[in-house]
C-alpha cells in the first residue's frame, strides 16, 4: 500500500494548498498580490468579480477542509479527490466565460487552465493508483 498510496496523499496535499490559496484570495482586495497569484487572468478592475467572489469563500474553505479530512485516510477517502473533478470543470467553464465577457485576460486564464488540467490529471492518476494500492492489500 505504501508504494502507491503516497501518490494519493501527495495529490491531497497539492489540492489542499491550491484550494487554500484560492480561498484566501477570494476575501482579499481585487488587486492584492495573492489574488493575482491565485487568479492571474482576472482583471483587478472587475468590480462584479470582486464582489461576487466573497460569497464563494465559504464554499472554497469548506472544500479545503474536506480535502484535509480526506488526507487523514487518503486511500479510503480518495473519492473526495474524484469529486473534485467536477468542481475543477466548473471553474474552467466559468473562467472561459469570464474571458468571453471581458472579465479576464486570455493569457492569465490559459495559465490557470493549464494548472487546473495538471491538477485534474494528477487527481486521476492518484485515484487510480490508490485503487491499485487498495486491491494489493
- For 38-75, what is each residue's pLDDT tens digit? 777 666 655 455 556 667 888 889 999 999 999 999 99
> For the stretch 105-134, what's the b/e string if a residue is b when 16 or more beta carbons lie within 10 angstroms of its beta carbon?
eeebbeebbeebeebeebbeebbebbeebe
How large is the average pLDDT for residues 20-36?
79
Residue 14 predicted with pLDDT over 90:
yes
pTM score, whole prediction: 0.80
Question: Is 39 exposed, middle or buried (CB count within 10 Å of its CB: 0-12, 13-18, 19+)?
Answer: buried
Amino acid at each position: 500500500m505504501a508504494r502507491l498510496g503516497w501518490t494519493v496523499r501527495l495529490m491531497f496535499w497539492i489540492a489542499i494548498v491550491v484550494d487554500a490559496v484560492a480561498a484566501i484570495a477570494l476575501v482579499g482586495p481585487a488587486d492584492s498580490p495573492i489574488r493575482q497569484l491565485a487568479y492571474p487572468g482576472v482583471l483587478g478592475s472587475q468590480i462584479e468579480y470582486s464582489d461576487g467572489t466573497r460569497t464563494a469563500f465559504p464554499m472554497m474553505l469548506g472544500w479545503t477542509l474536506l480535502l484535509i479530512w480526506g488526507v487523514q485516510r487518503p486511500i479510503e477517502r480518495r473519492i473526495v479527490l474524484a469529486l473534485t473533478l467536477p468542481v475543477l470543470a466548473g471553474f474552467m467553464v466559468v473562467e472561459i466565460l469570464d474571458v468571453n465577457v471581458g472579465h479576464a485576460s486570455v493569457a492569465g486564464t490559459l495559465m490557470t487552465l493549464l494548472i487546473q488540467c495538471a491538477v485534474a490529471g494528477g487527481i486521476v492518476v492518484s485515484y487510480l493508483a490508490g485503487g491499485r494500492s487498495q486491491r494489493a492489500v
